[in-house]
Structure 1
Amino acid sequence: MSSRRSRTAGLRTLGAGLVALGLLASGCGAGGDSGSGTVTIRYSWWGAQDRADLINKTIDLFEKEHPNIEVKTDFQEYGDFWTKFNTQAAGGNPPDVFQNSHAFLRKYGQKNLLLDLNAQVKAGNLDLGDFRQGLDKAGEVDGKLLGVPVGANTFTLVYDVEAFEKAGVTPEPGWTWEDFDKAVEKISGGEKDFWGASDNGGVMYLYDLYLRQQGKAFFTEKGLGFTEADLRKWWGDHNEKSKAGLLVPAKQSEQVKPKSSVSAGLSAAEFTWDNFLVRYTSETDRELALAPIPTMDGKKTGQYLSSLMLSASARTKHPEEVATFIDFMVNDPEVGKIMGYNRGVLPTNAQFEAYEPKGADALIAEYEDSVTEYLEPITPHPAGADTVEAAFLSIYGSVAQGTTSVDDGVAQFFDEAKTALGS
């Protein structure tokens, strides 16, 4: 870590201590001035150390080109990030700019915590003209621009190439859930302590695709877009497959965390976001590849592009500098070369063309290109969607562990979801 980063970390620690002692006024934390003409903005994100290392390099570039703006940084793992962010927001001290996602835009937008960046676009401080595949609209909610994408990803099946080859199965566009289930059965009958697939019954985004293939969706603008009977079938099918020894048991999956079951060598296949392949391949010597989502009818996958975004605090005292920072992070080609696909496929043409993907990144780029014609608009997420997602994962975890029945789990989920969504 550079000496400047060390100084910044020390200042963050001191600032956190002052907040704990109640010595900072509630509204004075959203950026400041050094008194020497330099504006200071705070930037927070979630992710592991590898992401932090890359982002710090991009900040060094930004500060070199914008010597009048200093960026103080902070990052945590996903859960810790949102715990800290909510505490800061409640105290009137959120970061000036922070990593966000589509699931949180409406929630924090309705709480008036996010800056509408449309004014900065009109002022020429933020350029959205070079975004790929309609991503310039990804952060719009009710006419407000509440986030700007820094990467794009879509769902996929990460699979063990050797395991599928031994089973004589080739995942290809148009394959069905029945084809997938047959592959899982073949593979599960092979080597000991190796299962055909991970148990992804609690993954909200996968269930959303399954519903979209049937003309439904996990969310509507008003709430849930499926019934208790729908969910009983989804969780019931996964529970039966798990009991039949086709899916990785919950206990084994927990034991290998933070690795995934597929990168830990327990599973031949796992549904997840395509950019996770970068991490998965770094965790295993097995050859992994990306396969298309199985379908109901051989055609419709229900897929859409999602993205990590940068959002600005509505309390920032420096909206122009924050917009300049976001503009640099999404448009500068050198930033694209540094970040690669750590946060998904690069969002603008300038960055996408500047970066030459290799290894896992090349597989991700090829996969996203192959599914472009199948992509649909993303399902709107209502306020409370993050709480619903957490409940979906947690309650299914209890079902998978055998501590909650499918029927009880479904009833509990609908109760918690209705409370979270205010319906």
Structure 2
Amino acid sequence: MKKTKNRLMLSCLSLTSVLIFAACSSESGGGEGGGNTGGAADEGGEEADVQEGQTELRVSWWGGQERHNRTIEAIELFEEKNPDIAVSTEFSGWDSHWERLSTQAAGRNLPDVVQMDLQYLNEYVSRDLLVDLNEYVDSGTINFDNVDEALIEGGIVDDSLYAVNLGTNSLFVLYDPAIFEEAGVPVPEPGYTWEEYADTARALYDELGVYSGEFSIMPFFSHYLRQHDLWLYNEDYTEMGYDDQYLIDFLDMYKELLDDGVVPGPDVTTDIHGLEDQLIIHGDSATLPENSNLIIAYVLAADRPLEMTTFPVVEGGSNGHILKPGQFLSISSQSENQDEAARFIDFVTNDLEANEILNAERGVPISSEVRDHIYEDLDEVEQMQFDYMDLVEDYAAPIHPPEPPGTRQIGEAYTRLLEELSYDMITTEEFAERFREEAEGILNN
């Protein structure tokens, strides 16, 4: 991949309570989901016009309208190159996607190909809902010749591959360079600390009265824990993996900025329902934390230059970023067309024309051949995403194991407690105590 870091304006920022976990994001619950926000559209899809001799393949995904349009166009190309297969599509926003899959799983009617998230992978594997893809890799049906092994590991559970990475991303801070310039506030360089972030946010607020994105949600706490060489859970998923003081310190940083009006409170964020509603889109916030694959959607929605930089660091701490699968594709164990589903996953992974259409909207492609092929034809914003992934490698930690079953419920508990904290109904100490109690109860259920 061509390196153009020198063209990336890198800086500081802050973070917002767009539920990157849900879930994803939502988020967006407990894991660092890839792009679960992003202007989700209403549910949609189309049944295939299956002709004699064709196999119907059902494909399901979540996302915003831009993702829907690109995916449908790529599917049309797949049908053209695979005339024995007709594809039925099912797509929606993040929450609707998982609600629909839950209903379909109970009725043994899951789609053949399912867009999967790291947060839910372990849960679906534990319920025997996904197919081990190793046989398709061994046979060459899914070709990883141009894929680094590190970009496959996120889809492995107990030595079996259950999900293929659709694109690599990482958390980032989106910021509006024009606001920084107008305020006369320097954009901090990558490697800036949480304290420097807070100082910058206060300076922006004092000068222009603009918010900075808030960093309170669970995926950002997970990032903070990695900077202390910790993970949210212990190794066997029976307890939380950190001392409560880490959560208290993390929430104290958020609450101080919230109480001073520097980050938006619940009276403001309650009106944010999708990407297009985010404060940074309308010039009311200088920064926003997100997943890197969403940079294109944000710039399109804002219709003005926006830039991206790393998260703050703990001074003297470890790296916190991970090179995360933005989303996966998995094959349902309920599918009767698993061979055709594997061909579809290989197509999305390796076909050059398909990836010209998909345009790295879900993250930087895992195939080096695909990356090299599409990079030069990307516009400046699209290349920014690739360049950011080059940059963030210097701030990345090893990817942690898949989230445990129950992650969604744990994320919902965190979000509910966060709302109580925002309304001064509980203290940060009470938050930490109650969250541990509820989360460990879920883990051991």
Give the shorter-chain TM-score range. Answer: 0.7 to 0.9
Q: Does 1:394 align with 2:394?
A: no
Which residue in the other structure is 1:83 paired with? 99
Counterparts of residues 370-389 of structure 1 (less than 5 Å): 370-380=391-401, 381-389=403-411
1:354-391 deviation digits (Å, cap 9, x = unpaired): 22321321221111111223322211122222322233
CA contact (8 A) 1:158 1:271 kept: yes
Instruction: Name the structure 1 match of 2:284.
Output: 266
Shift of residue 132, structure 1, vs aligned partner: 4.3
Identity of aligned residues (%): 28
Partner secondary structure for residue 98 of structure 1: strand
User: Contact 1:248/1:266 (CA < 8 Å) preserved in 2?
Assistant: no
Change (3 A) 1:262 1:393: farther
Q: C-alpha separation between the residues in 2 aligned to 1:138 and 1:230?
A: 26
Report the Cα distance in structure 2 between the residues aligned to 1:404 and 1:287, rounded to whole angstroms: 39
Aligned to 1:238: 254
User: Post-superposition shift, 1:299?
Assistant: 6.8
Number of the residue aligned with 1:126: 142
- 1:70-109 alignment to 2 at 5 Å? 70-109=86-125
Give the secondary-structure state (helix, strand or coil) at the position aligned to 2:167. strand
Q: Name which of 323, 326, 341 aligns with 2:345.
A: 326
Q: Which amino acid in the other structure matches residue 301 of structure 1? A: N
Relative to structure 1, is the Cα distance of residues 260 and 133 closer, same or farther in structure 2, using a 3 angstrom cutoff?
Answer: farther
Between structure 1 and structure 2, the one with the greater Rg is 1
Q: What residue ranges of structure 2 are gaps of 5+ in the alignment?
A: 1-43
When residues 70 and 221 of structure 1 are mapped into structure 2, their CA distance, relative to the original with a 3 A threshold, is farther
**1:177 maps to amino acid:** W
Q: State the 1:201 CA deviation.
A: 0.6
Q: Is the contact between residue 335 and residue 351 of structure 1 (CA under 8 Å) also seen in structure 2? A: no
- The structure-2 alpha-carbon separation of the partners of 1:34 and 1:275, relative to structure 1 and needing over 3 Å to count, comes to closer
Q: Residue by residue, what CA displacement relative to the aligned partner does 1:63-100 show, whole Å, maximum 9, x if unpaired?
A: 11111111110011100110010010011111111101
Residue in 2 that maps onto 1:16: none
1:367 aligns with 2:383: no
Cα distance in structure 1, aligned partners of 2:123 and 2:214: 29
1:300 equivalent in structure 2: 318
Q: Which amino acid aligns with 1:353?
A: D
TM-score (norm 1): 0.87
**Can you list the C-alpha shifts for 1:160-185, whole angstroms capped at 9, x where unaligned?**
21233334322212221122111111
Counterpart of 1:277? 295
Query: CA separation in 1, counterparts of 2:330 and 2:368?
Result: 21
Does structure 1 residue 314 correspond to structure 2 residue 333? yes
Deviation sequence 1:287-322 (CA, Å, 0-9, x none) = 321112211126733111111110000121122111
The worse-fitting range, judged by mean Cα deviation, of 81-90 and 272-281 is 272-281
Deviation at 1:128, TM superposition (A): 1.7
Segments of structure 1 that go 5 or more residues without pairing to the other structure are 1-7, 13-32
Deviation for aligned residue 1:220: 3.4
1:342 paired to 2:342: no
Moved more, 305-314 or 132-141: 132-141
CA distance in 1, matches of 2:383, 2:281: 19
How far the C-alpha of 1:404 sits from its partner, in A, is 4.0
Counterpart residue identity of residue 200, structure 1: F
**TM, length-normalised to structure 2:** 0.83
1:156 matched to which residue of 2?
172
Name the count of aligned residue pairs.
393
Q: Is the 8 A contact 1:334 1:354 kept in 2?
A: no
Q: Once the two structures are superposed, what CA deviation does each residue of 1:132-175 show, in whole Å capped at 9, x if it has no partner?
A: 47212221110111000111100111112123333432221222
C-alpha deviation, 1:243, in angstroms = 0.4
Residue 11 (structure 1) shift: 4.5
CA distance in 2, matches of 1:10, 1:101: 23
Structure 1 pair 9–366 and aligned structure 2 pair: CA distance change class (3 A): closer
Q: Give the corresponding residue for 1:290.
A: 308
CA distance 1:242–1:131, change in 2 (3 Å): same
